[in-house]
Amino acid sequence: MKIGFIGLGNMGFPIAARLVGAGHNVIAFDTRTAAVDKLIGAQGASSAKDVADRVETVMASLPSLQASREVAAEVAEGSRVRRFVDFSTVGRQTAIEVHDLLATRGIVAIDSPVSGGVSGAGKGTLAVMVSAPHEEFKLLLPVYETIGRPFYLGDRPGAAQTMKLVNNLLAATGLIATCEAVAMGVKAGLDAAVMIDVLNAGSGGTNASRDKFPRSILPRTFDYGFATGLMVKDVRLYLEEAQSLGVSMEVAEAVARLWEVVIEELGPESDFTAAIKPIERAAGVVVGG
């Protein structure tokens, strides 16, 4: 398939690379020309509109709501594009706005946020959440299966975004709670590595203890590949949607407060596994290393 791809960041680049590796004809654009040059086997484009002028299927992986809106508006001006697949996490309301904008041009908006991190993107093991007309989902199924496991959530605009926010709220909760609990154990004299082994063998294991702690926290590399600013963005989006639905947010609000401390102390560009650092400082301990 001939595919346009916009946004070659931490997630977008490995996704696009898998598409190239699977034999798709990829036309790529990123504001950083070096990222496009690095995508061996792809053709470069001069802008998002240039991509949309050259292919029927345009995909994007973008870091912010504003970037998704701006790219969607530019794609809408394209002469050949027929569908816009957005892997970004933008929340239900922005997904609806993009859907409505593209619909005026006869372009199908396909909401496809992903989960699984940079490692999952590289390995092709992402969870791909999709809300779109079912015939579009079936058309793109072979492409989705190149990058991971697709889950169809119906044709309602923004449904996949809701699922992604649920996923990321739980991921944010698991990481910050595990950080807090392990720091407490270290303060009490336990060995952090042994604690993680016990958690993973017992009922307290989480994705954080099984993956993030061994890979990035215990060795203190803090290089998992997902920015604190993106996690805080996703938690804030979850709160907005939960508030609009009138559902309980007590746990989510507590988690959000902790993440706001992390972004205030470490900045949005820090790796989200560094969330343990403010907790360590408050406890007077160092976990791992």
H/E element, 111 = strand 108-111
Examine the domain organization and report whether 45 and 145 are in the same domain.
Answer: yes
Mean pLDDT of 274-280: 98
For residue 271, list its beta bridge partners.
227
Regarding whether 113 and 7 lie in a shared domain, the answer is yes
Each residue's pLDDT tens digit, 142-188: 999 999 999 999 999 999 999 999 999 999 999 999 999 999 999 99
Number of domains in the chain: 2
265, part of any domain: yes
| Final residue in a domain of this structure, among 122, 157, 192 | 157
Are 151 and 30 in a shared domain? Answer: yes
- For 129-142, b/e burial (b = at least 16 CB within 10 A) is bbbbeeebbebbee
270 plus 168 within the same structural domain:
yes
What is the crossing angle of helices 65-75 and 92-103, to 10°? Answer: 10
**Residue 273: inside a domain:** yes
Q: Do 77 and 208 reside in the same domain of the chain?
A: no
Q: Pick the last residue of a domain from 138, 157, 176.
A: 157
Reply yes or no on whether the pLDDT at 230 is more than 90: yes
Mean pLDDT of the chain: 97
The 10 Å CB-count burial string (b at 16+, else e) for 55-67 is bebbbbbbbebeb
Q: Of 106, 124, 157, which residue sits at a domain end?
A: 157
Q: Is residue 132 part of a domain?
A: yes
In a domain, 288, yes or no: no
pTM attached to this predicted model: 0.93
CATH number, domain with residue 240: 1.10.1040.10
CATH number of the domain encompassing residue 24: 3.40.50.720
Domain identity same for 139 and 192: no
Report the share of the chain in percent with pLDDT over 90. Answer: 98
Q: Tell me the catalytic residues.
A: 164
Whether residue 286 has pLDDT greater than 90: yes
pLDDT for 167: 97
Query: Residues 60, 79: one domain?
Result: yes
22 in the same domain as 117: yes
- Residue 18 confidence (pLDDT): 97
Same domain for 135 and 23? yes
Coil vs helix vs strand at 2: strand
Give a yes or no: residue 21 inside a domain.
Answer: yes
Q: Which residues contact 157 (CB under 8 A, 6 or more apart)?
A: 92, 95, 96, 99, 100, 109, 111, 131
Model confidence pLDDT, tens digit, residues 98-142: 999 999 999 999 999 999 989 999 999 999 999 999 999 999 999
Dump pLDDT digits (tens) for 50-108.
Answer: 999 999 999 999 999 999 999 999 999 999 999 999 999 999 999 999 999 999 999 99
Q: Please check whether residues 8 and 145 belong to one and the same domain.
A: yes
- Burial classification of residue 194, based on how many CB atoms lie within 10 Å of its CB (0-12 exposed, 13-18 middle, 19 or more buried): exposed
Q: For residues 130 and 11, state if they share a domain.
A: yes
Residue 289 has pLDDT above 90, yes or no: no
Any domain includes 289: no
Residue 279 and residue 165 share a domain: yes
Domain span at residue 119 reads: 2-157
